[in-house]
């Protein structure tokens, strides 16, 4: 069943540009799908709510952008540098945040990420401040294949995203992943079984941060620029929403959630114009500017009505469990 | 003694006062968060948005209905509190049995909605809000010039915070509340209407945020996103102080405001991050927070 699902998803992903999808937009979708999967590794499989994942996504983007644009590094090294920066940042933030549990963990990650945001705002020569880092070159894959072609880049991004996703699947099903699940279900019990819970949490945090960094670095490559939006806490909120909509603790959920939310963000303006023309309510014309309000509404609806998310709800139906989560 | 470490005394004093003013807001907001968390086990992310709402309601009352500042100082927090009661009754109520994270996520969504609504009407530019005439001007204290309004902010917030402390720690009503925090089932068995108490507590907590918003309106630009950065700083304050103690929240809030004010004098470039840096140090040295007991 899973294999069929993966096969269909892969076919769709391979055929999407041919079927009329705009490759840069599809690439962006993939970056955010990977970002959400990385985030899900923490919330869905370790039970840690990080409210600061934008820091990893954005700082990896800045790091990769500088490596590629300013220092002229090859594409592969630039991406790896972005991942490395995210990993180090994850190690520091994680080590601090795991000193407190539950709700405090979320507040600490949020506060630390805000610190990173202020640092990015201040370090103008490195981040471009309010203007952002513009004109990041795409370079060549292995020094041979020119990535200037949107379609070529899309397939590269697809390969990277699949690689990241496969790694997450591997982590989740490994003995290490089982310990993480044990921590999520019952932390005191995991401790009493002799697991060094803090070590496991920290490693999960670093892995999640690194993968989020990979997504951020590739996203910069795709967009050709990096701005403060990607480090801001609204981005941390957005990745939570993607995971929540798709289904926390499901493998495919964050992918679906990311696609829906990014598509919604991009098409909300059009939707508003359409609604305005159908209903003649002037207000809908401004819907495009009200993205935050709509995401807020979806947040509330998800938390109150379907906490399992779309994929989670489907899985529960198949298991014959129709009670609300 | 006209200089301290090369900084002129009046400049230093005025920054200290600004720090105390900010500290008063931190204190009121973190107090509200602590009171809510104690009974509901919910971290109210929408605290910043409701603070903004308080300020905006005050502005609207004066702008559209020509009411004065003093009426709005009472009315705006009441409306915000009522809004809180509605949120609690219609939404938060359903989440108490679940992981605490859902409360945070719900209130985060509410934040985005409330801010979005105000933004769609008023944009992001600030609305003019003048200091009430009774409090305009400044008093010469000899060593510094004290703007009356800033003095009033510190005084009013201290009175509100200390009365809250008194009610919770020293009165019969407060003892119900504290008992409800410890063991809601048992308190309910004694005939106390715990669900009502929970609703009113949430209403009171957010009314405090609304009150802080009205106080802040004349000194901080009234605009839809004014609560955004504040709430994150207040979260850091809460992490530093821990939410176990009422007095602890008040002291931590004021203290961090002062530290922030002093940083503005000595290392201005660190003033926006100093609270977070303090949080890091506290996490390293005393992970449970200064006044904290881990739940």
Token pair, residue B109, equals 């969504």
The CA distance from B291 to B284, in Å, is 15
Q: A71 in contact with B at a CB cutoff of 8 Å? A: no
- Probe site for chain B from A185, A232, A245, A296 (most B CB atoms < 10 A): A296
Q: Is B27 exposed, middle or buried, given 0-12, 13-18 or 19+ CB atoms closer than 10 A?
A: buried
Query: Any residues with CB less than 8 A from the CB of A270 and at least 6 apart, and which?
Result: A288
Tokens for A298, please give them.
């979806």
Would you state the structure tokens that stand for residue B210, as one six-digit string?
A: 């609304």
Instruction: State the virtual CA torsion across A56, A57, A60, A65 in degrees, nearest 10.
Output: -150
In this predicted model, which residue has the larger pLDDT, B82 or A23? B82
Question: Are residues A233 and B232, on separate chains, in Cβ contact within 8 Å?
Answer: yes
Residue A33 CA to residue B153 CA, distance in Å, equals 47
Q: Which residue of A has its CA nearest to B229?
A: A114
Average model confidence (pLDDT) across chain B: 87
For chain B, give the longest Cα–Cα distance.
Answer: 63
Note the pLDDT of residue A9. Answer: 82
Of A288, A216, A182, the closest CA to residue A36 belongs to A216
Q: Are B256 and B48 within 8 A, CB to CB? A: no
Looking at the DSSP bridge assignments, the partners of residue A140 are A146
Q: Which one-letter DSSP state was computed for residue B138? A: E
A143 Rama class: left (phi>0) / alpha (psi -120 to 50) / beta: left
Burial class from Cβ neighbours inside 10 Å (0-12, 13-18, 19+) for residue B66 reads: exposed
Contact between residue B21 and residue B154 where contact means Cβ atoms under 8 Å apart: yes
pLDDT tens digit string along A255-273? 999 998 888 888 877 777 7
Q: How far, in Å, CA of A45 to CA of A38, rounded?
A: 11
The DSSP bridge partners found for residue B127 are B222
How far is it, in rounded angstroms, from Cα A228 to Cα B35? Answer: 34
Query: Which ipTM value was assigned to this complex?
Result: 0.86
The 10s digit of each residue's pLDDT in B84-128 is 999 999 998 888 888 888 899 999 999 999 998 888 888 888 888
Strand locations in chain A (E): 140-141, 145-146
- Whether A210 contacts chain B with CB within 8 A: no
Contacts of A198 (CB under 8 A, 6+ apart): A98
Number of Cβ atoms within 10 Å of the Cβ of A194: 7
Residue A252 has φ and ψ, to the nearest 5°, of -85, -20
DSSP letter at B222 equals: B
Q: Cα angle vertex B197, ends B195, B198, to 5°? A: 65
The answer, yes or no, to whether residue A287 has pLDDT greater than 80, is no
Write the residue in A111, A119, A300 that is nearest to B91 by C-beta.
Answer: A300
B137: left (phi over 0), alpha (psi -120 to 50) or beta: left
Contact A299 B101 (CB under 8 A): no
pLDDT for the residue B214: 94
Residue B147: φ, ψ to 5°: -65, 125
Within 10 angstroms of residue A17's Cβ, the number of other Cβ atoms is 18
Contact B50, B209 (CB under 8 A): yes
C-alpha triplet A124, A129, A132: angle, nearest 5°: 120
Residue B274 CB neighbours (<10 A): 19
Contact with chain A for residue B104, Cβ under 8 A: yes
Compute φ and ψ for B289, nearest 5 degrees: 95, 160
Distance CA B77, CA B82 (A): 8
Poorest-pLDDT segment among A195-199, B51-55, B137-141, B282-286: B137-141
Cα distance between the two ends of chain A: 24
Determine the Cα–Cα distance for residues B212 and B236; give it in Å rounded to an integer: 18
Q: How confident is the model at residue B293 (pLDDT cuts 50, 70, 90)?
A: low
Q: Show the tokens assigned to B79.
A: 């409306």
- Among A95, A240, A284, A303, the strongest candidate for a mutation testing the B interface, having the largest count of B CBs within 10 A, is A303
Q: What pLDDT sits at residue B3?
A: 67
Backbone angles phi, psi at B262, to 5 degrees: -65, -40
| pTM assigned to the model | 0.88
Which residues of chain B make contact with A129, given a CB cutoff of 8 A? none
How confident is the model over B25-83, as pLDDT tens digits?
A: 999 999 999 889 888 888 899 999 999 999 999 999 988 988 888 999 999 999 999 99
The total number of residues shown for chain A amounts to 325
Q: A–B: how many Cβ contacts below 8 A?
A: 115
Q: According to the model, what pLDDT value does residue A102 have? A: 80
Q: How far apart are CA B283 and CA B295, in angstroms?
A: 16
Task: Report how far residue B13's alpha carbon sits from residue B140's, in angstroms, rounded to the nearest whole number.
Answer: 13
- 3-state SS string for B219-279: CCCECCCCCHHHHHHHHHHHHHHCCCCHHHHHHHHHHHHHHHHHHHHHCHHHCCCHHHHHH
Q: A114-163: per-residue pLDDT in tens?
A: 999 988 988 877 887 778 788 778 777 776 777 778 888 888 999 999 99
Strand partners, A146: A140
Cα A299 to Cα A305: distance, rounded to the nearest angstrom: 10
Is B109–A297 a contact, with Cβ atoms under 8 angstroms apart? yes
On the question of pLDDT at B248 being above 60, the answer is: yes
Share of chain B above pLDDT 70, in %: 96
Closest CA to A237 of A109, A102, A131: A109
Distance from CA of B103 to the nearest CA of A (A): 8
Q: For residue B5, what are its two tokens?
A: 């470490």
First to last CA, chain B: 48
State yes or no: pLDDT of A325 exceeds 70. Answer: no
Q: What are phi and psi of B177, to 5 degrees?
A: -60, -45
Cα separation of B129 and B52, whole Å?
13
Q: Which two tokens stand for residue B33?
A: 């968060």
Among residues B214, B205, B197, which one has the least CA distance to residue B234? Answer: B205
Burial A65-98, CB ≥16 within 10 A → b, else e: bbbbbeeebebeebbbbbbbbbbbbbbebbbbbb
> What 3-state class would DSSP assign to A116?
helix
Report strand pairing: B145-147 vs A145-146. unpaired
Nearest to B235 among A101, A111, A289 (CB): A111
Chain B residues touching A49 at Cβ < 8 A:
101, 104
């Amino acid at each position: 069943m899973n294999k069929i699902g993966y096969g269909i998803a892969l076919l769709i992903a391979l055929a999407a540009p041919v079927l009329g999808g705009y490759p840069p937009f599809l690439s962006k979708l993939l970056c955010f799908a990977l970002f959400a999967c990385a985030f899900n590794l923490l919330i869905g499989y370790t039970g840690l709510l990080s409210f600061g994942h934008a820091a990893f996504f954005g700082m990896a983007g800045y790091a990769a952008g500088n490596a590629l644009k300013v220092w002229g590094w090859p594409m592969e090294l630039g991406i790896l540098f972005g991942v490395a920066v995210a990993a180090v940042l994850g190690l520091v933030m994680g080590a601090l945040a795991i000193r407190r549990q539950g709700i405090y963990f979320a507040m600490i990650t949020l506060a630390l990420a805000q610190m990173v945001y202020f640092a990015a705002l201040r370090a103008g020569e490195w981040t471009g401040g309010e203007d952002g880092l513009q004109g990041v070159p795409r370079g060549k894959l292995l020094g041979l294949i020119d990535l200037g072609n949107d379609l070529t880049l899309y397939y590269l991004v697809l390969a990277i995203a699949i690689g990241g996703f496969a790694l997450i699947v591997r982590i989740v099903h490994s003995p290490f992943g089982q310990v993480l699940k044990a921590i999520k279900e019952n932390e005191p019990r995991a401790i009493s079984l002799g697991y060094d819970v803090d070590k496991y949490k920290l490693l999960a945090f670093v892995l999640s941060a690194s993968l989020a960094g990979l997504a951020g670095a590739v996203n910069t490559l795709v967009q050709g620029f990096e701005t403060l939006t990607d480090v801001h806490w609204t981005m941390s909120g957005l990745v939570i929403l993607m995971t929540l909509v798709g289904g926390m603790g499901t493998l495919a959920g964050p992918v679906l959630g990311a696609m829906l939310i990014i598509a919604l963000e991009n098409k909300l303006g059009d939707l508003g114009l359409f609604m305005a023309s159908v209903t003649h309510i002037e207000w809908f014309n401004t819907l495009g500017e009200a993205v935050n309000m709509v995401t807020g509404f979806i947040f509330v609806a998800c938390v109150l009505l379907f906490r399992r998310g779309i994929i989670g709800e489907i899985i529960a139906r198949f298991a014959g469990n129709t009670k609300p989560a | 003694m006209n200089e301290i470490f090369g900084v002129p005394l009046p400049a230093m004093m005025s920054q200290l006062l600004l720090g105390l003013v900010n500290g008063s807001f931190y204190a009121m907001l973190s107090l509200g968060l602590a009171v809510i968390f104690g009974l509901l086990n919910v971290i109210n992310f929408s605290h910043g948005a409701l603070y903004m709402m308080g300020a905006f309601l005050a502005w609207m009352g004066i702008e559209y209905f020509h009411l004065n500042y003093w009426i709005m100082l009472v009315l705006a927090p009441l409306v915000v509190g009522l809004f809180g009661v509605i949120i609690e009754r219609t939404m938060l109520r359903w989440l108490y049995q679940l992981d605490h994270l859902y409360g945070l996520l719900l209130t985060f969504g509410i934040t985005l909605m409330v801010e979005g609504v105000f933004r769609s009407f008023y944009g992001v530019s600030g609305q003019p809000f003048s200091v009430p005439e009774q409090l305009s001007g400044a008093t010469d204290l000899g060593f510094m010039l004290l703007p009356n309004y800033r003095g009033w902010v510190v005084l009013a917030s201290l009175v509100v915070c200390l009365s809250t402390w008194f009610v919770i720690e020293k009165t019969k009503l407060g003892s119900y509340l504290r008992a409800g925090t410890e063991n809601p089932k048992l308190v309910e068995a004694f005939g106390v209407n715990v669900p009502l108490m929970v609703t009113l507590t949430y209403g009171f907590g957010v009314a405090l945020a609304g009150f802080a918003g009205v106080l802040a309106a004349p000194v901080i630009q009234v605009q839809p996103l004014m609560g955004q950065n504040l709430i994150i700083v207040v979260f850091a304050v809460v992490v530093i102080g821990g939410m176990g103690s009422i007095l602890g929240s008040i002291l931590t809030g004021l203290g961090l405001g002062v530290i922030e004010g002093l940083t503005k004098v000595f290392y201005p470039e660190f003033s926006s991050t100093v609270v977070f840096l303090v949080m890091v140090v506290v996490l390293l040295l005393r992970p449970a927070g200064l006044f904290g007991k881990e739940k």
